[in-house]
Amino acid sequence: MSLILNQPSELCLRAPVLVRCSPLHSNSLSSASLPQTQTLPKFIYCADPCRPQLARIMVRRDGDMIPLDFDPPYDFMEAPELIGSTNGWITSLVDGRVCLYTHRGKRPDHERIWLPALESLPLCQAQVVTNVAMSSSSPEEEYRVVAVKFLGPQLSICQLISRRHAQVEVEGIHIRISNPCFFSSPVMYSEKEDMFRIVGSGGHLVGSWDLRKHKDTPKIQRLQFQNLPELSKAKRELLYSCKTSEHLVESRTTGETFMVKWYKRTSKTIERMETKALMVFKIDEEGNAVYTQDIGDLCIFLTMTESFCVPACSVRHMRPSRVKIMDVDEITIVDLAAQKWN
């Protein structure tokens, strides 16, 4: 099982500190303590900086995410350094600043959020962004926290306050991550933990970061894989030949956390890659990562820059324990229960 299990690097464990999405001196409850619902975002942008001609825009329509059925305006597709999307906001890197904006179909006007100018920490770079994660999608939210994950050691987090549609930086930090297993992984915002989280390469460690503390020593959760499937020789050789990435997904409706291992390999057309397998693990608070083909009445939407989980009954054409993959290379649905490993 060395294909699934690799030895993680050693890191010191520290107590968690929460990302605060409310004023620092507010007595209101955090969003993590309130009942949550989760719906499909308005937009999902699937991008590959090396292959901009393959970019896809998925829009919420008729209870599902479907490809945009018209040619987007030039300024939308040709924006410098398009990154992807988060919570329905398109993200791009323009002149050293991250811009988040909504797109309103054929209408040229956007609602924009500009983050402060980026700076590189020593031995880091701030030109190639892995992805961006936002704590809330609502423009009416007065307080929001945004994390920018760069390729390599740097993670930048800032808190924004909205007053009459003006975006003001309240507090920001730049973090140099010491463990290389997190260097190429995307960041996600956890409503349950009220923190930004990154799963390390190989899926053995999950790091959680806070706005004010945990700069060099994040909260670390070590995962213990259980109930691993028995692989046939042919399946094992196939997975060994694949590019593998790990993605954290959280259900706001059930409070469950899943890790998806995504196996992709070059297709027959050479220029594209296609999914060969998915492995889904349910993660509990003790760090048990239990392989499962049954995620209840939930379905997962999987992209390279953001992934999310919603009740299957809320999505047209989706059934429980399905994963809808939306990528520049493919749009497909995987039935977890139908996957065979031997």
Q: Tell me: pLDDT of 19 over 80.
A: no
Q: Tell me: pLDDT of 200 over 50.
A: yes
Residue 155, classed as helix, strand or coil, is strand
The span from the CA of 87 to the CA of 89, in Å, is 6
Mean pLDDT of 7-12: 34
Residues in the chain: 342
- In the block, tokens 């939407």 appear at 301
Mean pLDDT of 42-51: 75
Tell me the pLDDT tens digit for each residue of 82-134: 788 888 888 888 888 888 887 655 554 567 788 888 889 999 999 889 999 99
pLDDT, mean over the chain = 80
- In the block, tokens 């109930």 appear at 227
Query: Across-strand partners of 263?
Result: 244, 277
Residue 240, classed as helix, strand or coil, is helix
The span from the CA of 46 to the CA of 331, in Å, is 10
Q: Tell me: pLDDT of 15 over 50.
A: no
Residue 235, classed as helix, strand or coil, is helix
Q: What contacts 108, CB < 8 A, 6 or more positions away?
A: 73, 75
Predicted TM-score of the model (pTM): 0.82
Q: Which of the 8 DSSP states describes residue 251?
A: B
Tell me the pLDDT tens digit for each residue of 309-341: 999 999 988 999 999 999 988 999 999 999 999
Residue 202, classed as helix, strand or coil, is coil
317 CB neighbour count, 10 Å cutoff: 12
Q: Which of the 8 DSSP states describes residue 54?
A: G
Asked if residues 147 and 209 have their Cβ atoms less than 8 Å apart, the reply is: yes
